[in-house]
Amino acid sequence: ESKIALINFINSFLETKEKIIDVVVINNEPAVDSELEKSSRMDVNARTANGDHINIEVQLKNVDDMANRAVFYASKMLTNQSSKGISYANLNKATSINIYNFTFFKEERLADVYDTCFSYGDIEHQLELSEIVKIHIIELTKLHKILEKAEGNIDSLTDKEAWTIFLAYAASEDY
């Protein structure tokens, strides 16, 4: 039963034409190559039916350089796929959905933006190099625009907006 909810949740954030139809939750501690390598623990580590990797992280407090942590986890999903002789064309996408119960981007121009998505690209020319890695940062503290929209008609919310509101209230100690 929770598998259906997980698929709906992931699809709402990926916003792609090709919807995920199946997902398998896998070991949440990706392998390390040596004792010197930093290990990681992912909150939800899943693989889609077509082999793409999804990591869902929930953080209640801003600790331990969250930007680099998000990049590290997404990169780990990509590098854990490699093995001798594999063609880079056969690498599966790695998507990290980071849900933060704090304001991460404090810039005024992002005051109403609760979902930011990053990939590899050229900043100056706004050119995407590859879609193989996507990193979403969801800030639960920036939901005021969605809540205003929901007051009039909750049916007007997208699945992503509804999930984000649900997560914000689930993270609240008041509810």
Alpha carbon distance 4, 23 (integer Å): 9
**DSSP run (H or E) holding 23:** strand 23-25
Would you state the pLDDT for residue 26?
Answer: 67
Q: What is the mean pLDDT of the chain?
A: 80
Quote the pTM value.
0.80
Q: What are the CA-CA distances from residue 77 to residues 85, 90, 135, 173 (Å)? A: 18, 14, 12, 32
Q: pLDDT band at 27, cuts 50/70/90?
A: low
Residue 78: closest CA among 67, 92, 66: 92
Q: pLDDT band at 29, cuts 50/70/90?
A: low
pLDDT of residue 38 exceeding 50, the answer is no
Residue 126 identity: Q
- Which residues, 6 or more positions from 154, have their beta carbon under 8 angstroms from its beta carbon? 162
The average pLDDT across 17-40 equals 58
> Which class for 142: exposed (0-12), middle (13-18), buried (19 or more C-beta within 10 A)?
buried
The answer to whether 59 and 26 have CB atoms below 8 angstroms apart is no
